[in-house]
Copies of this chain bind each other. A is one copy, B any other.
Amino acid sequence: MFNKLALIGIGLIGSSIARATKLKGLAKTIAISTRKAATLEEARELGLGDTYTLDAAEAVKDADLVIICAPVGAYAEVMKQIGPALMPGAIVSDVGSVKVHVIKVMQPHIPAGVHLIPGHPIAGTEHSGPKAGFAELFEGRWCVLTPDAAVDRIAVDRLISFWGALGSKVEVMDAAHHDLTLAITSHVPHLIAYNIVGTVDDLEAATQSEVIKFSASGFRDFTRIAASDPVMWRDIFLTNRDAVLEMLGRFLEDLSQLQRAVRVGDGAAMEALFTRTREIRRSIITAGQETAAADFGRPHGTAETGAPVPAPLDTPEVGIREHGGGEDA
């Protein structure tokens, strides 16, 4: 599909692209470049590519597909390095979680005849680094591309085919619309998760053991999100500020109402909200974006504490049930 794929940065996403590209034979050569020598060495040991270099310009030489997989904060420096080395006809893309800012940074360094097609695979885990990647990461997940209207349609189609071959469903979208949508489905949830884990961390002196003990009561789900890569997330909030503040404002308005319902004991308002939120989850499961298994299919019983025996649900027909009239607890 491509002659030479250059990956600039080889963390969770970059290394997953490398693994899937190799597995499916989508590029003849994979060139990997990183800023840190240790990371490059890790990639080499894992056999993720064909060539390895600390010089990003060398990596992109003769590459017909270049994907920047570094934190958004590193883009300016990367683009300055690779801009002059880009081959005419090459596609330059990325995997960053914000798109308006990224286009602003990348566009000035794109030579005539090179196609800038920013991208964002909606996939990931809380783990970071070259070891954390796996070839199946993109399967069944969406990948959003945000090319300018002027970009060559054939180049866009080539990149759509590439992501399709990685297992993704692809959507082409306006960059600003992408940033606003992701602010509410991703950026604000991460902000909130980081925040509440921080709140708990501040209580720690008095209640550290209790927080850990009782984390299974809901809190531990937040800690997963709040274990995501700090630099990547710092950069997201630095570069998608307006959309994040807009959506955070809406969240806070709603939370004020809910806080008031708790204060005045408005049980009807609470039950109404808690009931309609179930629908959203049903839609996500129906759309194949989530598993219906309890606790995400997280192991229960002895498996969870280290022993090898999984303990599946003993009734296969379990699902999210409509409220049954008060017997559930």
**A contact face: mostly helix, strand, loop, or mixed:** helix
Residues in B with CB closer than 8 Å to A105 are none
Residue A157 interfacial (CB < 8 Å): no
**Which of A84-92, A146-154, A178-186 lies at the binding interface?**
A178-186
Q: Are A207 and B181 in contact (CB-based, < 8 A)?
A: yes
Q: How many copies of this chain does the complex contain?
A: 2
Q: Which of B35, B220, B302 contacts A140 (CB 8 A)?
A: B302
Residue A172 interfacial (CB < 8 Å): no
Residue A308 interfacial (CB < 8 Å): no
Interface residues on A, range: 35 or more
Residue A29 interfacial (CB < 8 Å): no
Q: Which of B19, B220, B229 contacts A329 (CB 8 A)?
A: B229
Residue A311 interfacial (CB < 8 Å): yes
A268 CB to nearest chain B CB (Å):
8
Residues in B with CB closer than 8 Å to A281 are 126, 197, 220, 223-224, 226-227
Q: Which of B250, B274, B280, B298 contacts A234 (CB 8 A)?
A: B274
Q: Are B127 and A12 in contact (CB-based, < 8 A)?
A: no
Q: Which of B217, B230, B267, B291 contacts A271 (CB 8 A)?
A: B230
Q: Which of B34, B254, B262, B305 contacts A198 (CB 8 A)?
A: B254
